[in-house]
Amino acid sequence: MGWRDRLIRHGPRITLDCDRGERRYRAALEKLPIWKIKPESRPPAGPLAATRNVGRMDIQFIATLAVIAPDPQQSRELFIDALGLPLEASPDSDYFHSERIKGSKHFAIWPLSEAAEACFGTPDWPADRTVPQMSLEFEVHDADAVQSAAEELRERGFALLPERREEPWGQTVARLQSAEGSIIGISFTPGLRS
């Protein structure tokens, strides 16, 4: 029975032993709706297995979700006063944050002026860029992985804001602005690891 017959008869649970068969198997799986692909249907380990994550960042978890606030006081009225989130002020800053909201490692209200300072070194957001409404940071396993991720993003044509940098609180981060205008960060934050 050929690989096509096995796929038609048995669905995506088949396994194959050779490289050529694995490539055909993977191509067949790509045409199936995701709900039909069962965990046991993953391609077997083999020569192609070692290259599956080459060029891909090893994202550990979502580290931070921050609302970027042109008017931090108005945002605090919603998130703290109305919604009752346990956000605390950072020293000498309008940055309010919490690590105590279930389902979130770090949620924050990030003043636009501070986001501009972190990305461009000035408190004014550049007029030629979309004003961001949120920041989303993805955690990688160490500071060197941040550098690798930054290089990979640059190679794929993304402009970083700025290059990798060390923040005063120990975070290593590289940021970019997405097509939608969001600030996206790849970070390593020792304080978020428990």
State residue 31's pLDDT score: 56
Residues 156 and 123 in one domain: yes
Q: Between β-strands 183-188 and 165-166, what pairing exists: parallel, antiparallel or unpaired?
A: unpaired
Residue 21 has pLDDT above 60, yes or no: no
CA-CA distance, 136 to 141, in Å (whole number)? 17
pLDDT tens per residue, range 130-177: 999 999 999 999 999 999 999 999 999 999 987 889 988 899 999 999
Q: What average pLDDT does the structure give for the chain?
A: 80
In terms of residue numbers, what domain contains 46?
Answer: 3-51
Residues whose CB is less than 8 angstroms from the CB of residue 98 and which lie 6 or more positions away in sequence, other chains included: 85, 86, 87, 88, 104, 106, 107, 108
Residues 68 and 43 in one domain: no
**45 domain residue, yes or no:** yes
State residue 123's pLDDT score: 96
Range 175-189 average pLDDT? 94
Residue 36 has pLDDT above 60, yes or no: no
Q: Is the pTM of this model over 0.85?
A: no
**39 domain residue, yes or no:** yes
**56 domain residue, yes or no:** no
pLDDT tens per residue, range 112-126: 999 999 999 999 999
Range of weakest confidence among 4-8, 81-85, 97-101, 115-119: 4-8
Residues 44 and 117 in one domain: no
Residues 134 and 179 in one domain: yes
CA-CA distance, 181 to 132, in Å (whole number)? 5
State residue 192's pLDDT score: 80
pLDDT tens per residue, range 62-91: 999 999 999 999 999 999 999 999 999 999
State residue 194's pLDDT score: 65
Percentage of the chain lying above the pLDDT 70 cut: 71
State residue 155's pLDDT score: 92
Residues 11 and 98 in one domain: no
Residues 104 and 30 in one domain: no
Which letter does DSSP use for residue 12 in this model?
A: G
State residue 176's pLDDT score: 95
Residues 179 and 118 in one domain: yes
